[in-house]
Structure 1
Amino acid sequence: MHAPRFRVLAALAVLLVMVMRVEAQATYDVLLRGGHVIDPRNGIDAVMDVAVAGGKIAAVRAGIDPGTAKQVVDVGGLYVTPGLIDLHVHVFATTGVRGAWAGDSSVLPDGFSFRTGVTTMVDAGSSGWRNFEDFRRTVIDRASTRVLAMLNIAGFGMLTDVPEQNIHDMDAKATADMAGRHRDVVVGIKSAHYQGPEWVSVDRAVEAGRTAGVPVMVDFGYFREERPYYKLVGEHLRPGDISTHMFRGPVPYVDADGKVLDYLTQARARGVLFDVGHGGGSFVFRTMVPATRAGFYPDTISTDLHTGSMNAGMTDMLMTMSKFLVVGMPLQKVVQASTDTPARVIKRLELGHLSVGAEADIAVLRVLDGRFGYADGARGTLAGDRRLACEMTLRAGRVVWDWNARSGTDYRELPPTYGVRDVDRIIVPPRP
């Protein structure tokens, strides 16, 4: 009477041994098969396979034998890119301060990264030298997302706008010293939201950046006659420094004929970088559309992620990227501005590419065709026929987002008791 049961168990044992042998012989942990790979760093723009082993990129080429991988994921018809790098976010959500960028307006990174293909976030000045170590302890070191940081030149960072007006607490030496002590995660200095007529916030940030050997990002704050924007990008920023919120309303961009103004092309020629930093109110189609159609593309695409922007026109990284796609920026350039270039800007050349040996941070994207509406930060709208969506994200070789369950197994093919832990017992109530 036990023979059928014995035969089933024996068959399962044989199957298990076969699976173990296959896995023991497998070269790769994961194989993403048949996707269109866009890897600007390596000049790849073609249908290829991407293999992952030990959390690293193991191979990128066409025709990898699926029998060499423990897990094969069909990504045909999709785009495979390096994990996206969002250069401007606010994720210091652990201060408990109401209404502050470093507080309730920040978001915790893991809830808003992987679902949009983002594997690396750079917090743009939420903390300063006085509270950075608390930020690191409570957010950076606890996140699965790779979180890097730019230190605010204001000692307390963005605990409301008030600390960012205190020029007596803009200590270039203390800021540079803190950056030096945390060189593994601090990648820049930030000046933001300054309201006064002086250049002190910008200039001290540049001083700190020079001492620490890192770039400076400037959110220009209030646009005043005493310190015009053209002087920021033309005189005060160094090559490699970043002007974020590049399409903010007060920034003069094009002349009456739609030509990009000379001061912008001159600033770019001397090495100043332009970042999107969409935000809740720092992006207008009025300047973005003519500038982009004229070929003045952003060096880096970023979100300025916080509760106000994610619940408004910005939405997320892919929505921001899509806005440039629909007004004529080629997909390859959009990807480059979201992967390779931001990695270079923050001097983290190990990021932003799919080179063999690199950490396997990967985004699998779909380009949706249809009728879509887009909003800027000032009630302006734009219609478009394409939109990017994230199908899958891998962080260090592990699938951390899988929109359509591509990496899973049909439940009908799994053992009858799958989902039951060793410590659990299935207890069926007795029949009456």
Structure 2
Amino acid sequence: MAEPAFDLILRGGRVIDPANGIDAVMDVAITGDRIAAVATGLRGEQAREVIDVQGKLVTPGLIDTHAHVFQHVTGRFGLNADVCGVRSGVSTLVDQGGPSLMTLPAFRHYVAEPSNSRVLCFLSTYLVGGLEGHLYPQLYGPDCVDVDDTIRVGLENRDIVRGVKAHAEVGGKSRWGMDVIRKARDIARGLDVPLYIHLGQLWPEKEKGIVDPDSVIEELVPIMAEGDILAHPFTRHPGGFISTKSGDVHPIVKVALERGVRVDVGHGSHFSFDMARRVLDAGIIPDTLGADMHGYNTHVGSLSEAESEDNPFFGKVRFCLTHAMTELLALGLPMDTVIATATSNAARMIGMDDELGALTKGRIADIAVLDVHTGNFELTDNSGVSVKTDRAIMPAFSLRAGQYMAVDSPVVVEPMRLAS
């Protein structure tokens, strides 16, 4: 009797693979750690194991473009990588600004290497990295940036360093103008990687502050280049996409997009349904999603209730990457567009679209299997605004390099069901 051609067949799921233009009921076969076939009518006897995924979505492995998983080193801010990754149906995590030139070796040894999830990073601009979630602005000025050494360390670790992270917001601008952002740009150019910029107020303004929060993005955009990324387009905090003067999307955002600057949702504590509608109504569709879970905004963090109430980052809403995908669906984005934000577009953002983000024969078998529940659901943002939706995406299981990964993470929470 002939040996089976495949180790595993995922049979009969709705395959959505935006990179290859596929949206159809198909079978996906895996041999070892590679995708062996995407086809219809694969026979059960061709594989050692068959998993029936009828009624489920089968997509390329999910990529979370905004994670905070430098556990312990970044204090209460950093979560466990696998809790945010494979245990919640996500294959690849990109830590945004946790490790710095001084702490990157620890990030590699204690986080990236032992995790079952694939863990990458956007290297912090700042010497101290993301200590305690950037609570102390005195650590993040231009004197706390070393351009040359950050480039050196980044080049030595280019396999996991996929970009550079910095913050452009009113508290920082009131202290240092755009000096830190220019240094961050120089680091990114020296590494030939994207520059990822946080928008939305992070720190209190110093002394008299700045008169016009819109000046942050006005001065930021000329510094950015094609492939760089603006984060938090849906932020409810000043200094973002929405002009504080007009209440509409600032015109310079369109200028940035025309120059090839990309947009990452960076959900976290910044997501606002109201702001999202304004941005989407202006014709701006985010390229990537990014959950932005951390220890101050999820129920798996270590803050006490009292600490949580006093913390500027804290949000009481439970969420994860698939929950954020559900919110994009509720805002009217098509399913294939939502899937692309966490697969093909995300792979392109990190410069790995030749390896990840597609169900192409011969590629690594990172695959997500998702349930789409129907019913009456209520979603609530960090401002307390609620919307209703009739679909909710939940992870069923995933494959990471061909290995089955069960979903058992406490961050995975089904949206609130409403009575029919």
Correspondent of 1:334 among 335, 338, 347? 338
Give me the whole-angstrom Cα distance separating, in 2, the residues matched to 1:139 and 1:355: 28
1:146 aligns with 2:118: yes
Residues 255 and 125 of structure 1, relative CA distance in 2, 3 Å threshold: closer
Task: Tell me the number of residue pairs that the alignment of Structure 1 and Structure 2 aligns.
Answer: 374
Q: In 1, are the aligned partners of 2:372 and 2:394 still within 8 Å (CA)?
A: yes
Counterpart-to-counterpart distance in 1, 2:196 and 2:219: 11
Match of 2:308 in 1: none
Counterpart position of 2:274: 286
| Cα displacement string for residues 271-293 of structure 1 (whole angstroms, at most 9, x for unaligned residues) | 1111111112x121111023225
SS of the equivalent of 2:242 reads coil
Q: TM-score, normalised by structure 2?
A: 0.84
Query: What is the aligned counterpart of 1:32 among 2, 7, 10?
Result: 10
Provide the C-alpha distance between the structure 2 equivalents of 1:39 and 1:153, rounded to a whole number of angstroms: 34
Q: Which secondary structure state, in structure 1, belongs to the residue aligned with residue 30 of structure 2?
A: strand
- SS of alignment partner, residue 297 of structure 2: helix
Q: Measure, in 2, the Cα distance between the counterparts of 1:227 and 1:55.
A: 48
CA offset at residue 342 of structure 1? 1.2
Runs of 5+ unmatched residues, structure 1 = 1-20, 96-101, 404-432
Question: How far apart are the structure 2 equivalents of 1:330 and 1:226?
Answer: 33
Alignment of 1:264-283 (within 5 A): 264-280=253-269, 282-283=270-271
Question: Which residue of 294, 300, 303 corresponds with 2:288?
Answer: 300
Letter aligned with residue 367 of structure 1: V
**Partner of 1:345 in structure 2?**
349
Of stretches 289-298 and 251-260 in structure 1, the one that deviates more from structure 2 is 251-260
Q: Would you say 1:184 and 2:159 are equivalent positions?
A: yes
**SS of aligned partner of 1:70:** strand
Partner of 1:86: 64
**Local SS of the residue matching 2:150:** helix
8 Å Cα contact 2:163-2:193 kept in structure 1 = yes
Q: Which AA in structure 2 matches 1:110?
A: D
2:177 equivalent to 1:198: yes
Question: Residue 127 in 1 paired to residue 131 in 2?
Answer: no
Question: Runs of 5+ in structure 2 lacking a partner?
Answer: 300-315, 409-420
Shift of 1:261: 4.5
Q: Describe how 1:26-105 pairs up with structure 2 within 5 A.
A: 26-95=4-73, 102-105=74-77
**2:368 matches 1:396:** no
The structure having more radius of gyration, on CA atoms, is 1
**In 1, distance between residues paired with 2:129 and 2:244?**
36
Q: Is the 8 A contact 1:29 1:71 kept in 2?
A: yes
Question: For residue 49 of structure 2, what is the amino acid of its counterpart?
Answer: Q
Q: Is the 8 A contact 2:234 2:279 kept in 1?
A: no
Q: Distance in 2 between matches of 1:239 and 1:230?
A: 16
RMSD: 2.2
Paired with 2:393 and 2:39, the residues of 1 have a C-alpha distance of 24
> Who is 2:415 aligned against?
none
Superposed CA offset, 1:254-304 (max 9, x none): 899997553222211111111111112x12111102322554211100111
Query: Which residue number in structure 2 is paired with residue 262 of structure 1?
Result: 251
SS in 1 for 2:404: strand
Letter in 2 for 1:303: A
Q: What CA distance in whole angstroms lies between the structure 2 residues aligned with 1:227 and 1:333?
A: 29
Out of 157-166 and 24-33, give the one that drifted further.
157-166
Q: CA deviation at 1:382?
A: 1.8
Alignment check: 8 A CA contact 1:121 1:147 kept: yes
Q: What SS does structure 1 have at the residue aligned with 2:123?
A: strand
What are the Cα deviations for residues 229-261 of structure 1, in whole angstroms up to 9, with x where unaligned? 332553121111111112112224389999755
What is the CA distance between 1:226 and its match in structure 2? 7.5
1:110-259 matched pairs, under 5 angstroms:
110-160=82-132, 161=134, 162=136, 164-192=139-167, 195=172, 196-220=175-199, 221-222=202-203, 224=210, 225=212, 228-232=215-219, 234-249=221-236, 250=238, 251-253=240-242
The 2-side partners of 1:76 and 1:256 are apart by 50
In structure 1, C-alpha distance between the alignment counterparts of 2:166 and 2:361, rounded to whole Å: 37
- 130 and 323 in structure 1: CA distance in 2 versus 1, 3 angstrom threshold: same
Displacement after TM superposition at 1:308 (Å): 2.2
Q: Could you give the per-residue CA deviations for residues 334-384 of structure 1, whole angstroms, max 9, x where no partner exists?
A: 000111111111111211111001100000111111111112222222222
CA distance in 2: counterparts of 1:243 and 1:358, whole angstroms: 29
**Partner secondary structure for residue 335 of structure 1:** helix
Q: Does the 8 A contact of 1:128 with 1:175 survive in 2?
A: yes
